[in-house]
Structure 1
């Protein structure tokens, strides 16, 4: 027998047979809301950065080839990640508490797959393009510095990028995966509770 409960109806019920269903639904909705706010804020940041990089491109028309190539790679990285983030926002918009439990879970699992893709392949492509773009972009300016300051400058920027790549990115990915896994497991346990 196929069950097709509506999460909104469950939430409104006075007596619920599943353990702690209100808190599970509240947790899932809270997670969705937090992810939506974060994604919208990230989109604003990415669009602002694209605007600044575009302004640099337009206002500094006398740049060398490698500097322009660097700016183009940075723009491509930002546009690519903006596109992925907009896809995530689209999935978040489709998650609705009035959906049946199977549809709600399906949408949450779709969100989970999108986040996994963004945190692995998406961020790898983004960081590689950003890294190469920054190296090409800084080349013209580092040539104007003394060798000592050029090495210090490149070392600082590259050190920060490696720190983000090898420390911040994995820690953040692990946290996001854990939160999403908890929400999905809670919703699955709620669904199993109604099937029994």
Structure 2
């Protein structure tokens, strides 16, 4: 019995599946569509929230300067976040999955870098401005409450912000990264197969 097995020869003879380009292009199309839908939903929510905040300011005529500053900070936080988030809109619109695999791979890596910047720096500033704005906004109304109810109001609000920061934000970030990283891995795999 011959124990000398030529692994290199066996490796060369194995049948490898060709990359399924149609499947990959469909995944890219779905990713692009979901990203654009997410951007549009965020823009609609931003516009509605801003309109509501302006309505509250106009209709209820807050007396404290802290309330007005709070409203401005909340709107500013959302405007900064949405302004930078909308820059991704052009990236998604202009991306073309039918271009060369290597070029599209570089585009996906660029999108991932932009998302990481949004998820770290921009989102951190967004939450800080939002929290400060909400706390300042609530001060006028909390000052009219008993200390007990004011503490409960602030406690519930800060708990919700903490829950959003420590639980919801990481889950959303992980979900977004997983989508982009999956596409990048597939394009790298296709590039590797096409080059060999």
Question: What's the TM-score, normalizing by structure 1?
Answer: 0.87
Q: How many residues align?
A: 180
1:130-169 correspondence to structure 2 within 5 Å? 130-169=130-169
Deviations 1:137-189 (A, max 9, x none): 00000011111111111111111001111111112111211121011110111
Q: For the aligned residues, what is the CA RMSD?
A: 1.4
Corresponding residue number in structure 1 for 2:174: 174
Corresponding residue number in structure 2 for 1:63: 63
The offset of 1:54, in angstroms, is: 2.0
1:17-36 correspondence to structure 2 within 5 Å? 18-36=18-36
The offset of 1:62, in angstroms, is: 4.2
Question: What's the TM-score, normalizing by structure 2?
Answer: 0.87
Deviations 1:3-58 (A, max 9, x none): xxxxxxxxxxxxxx732222122112211111111111111111211121122223
Structure 2 Cα separation of the partners of residues 180 and 91 of structure 1: 14
5+ long unaligned stretches in structure 2: 1-16
Structure 1 Cα separation of the partners of residues 19 and 62 of structure 2: 67
Which of these two proteins has the greater Rg computed from alpha carbons?
2
Corresponding residue number in structure 2 for 1:74: 74
Corresponding residue number in structure 1 for 2:110: 110
Structure 1 Cα separation of the partners of residues 149 and 44 of structure 2: 34
Structure 2 Cα separation of the partners of residues 149 and 19 of structure 1: 62
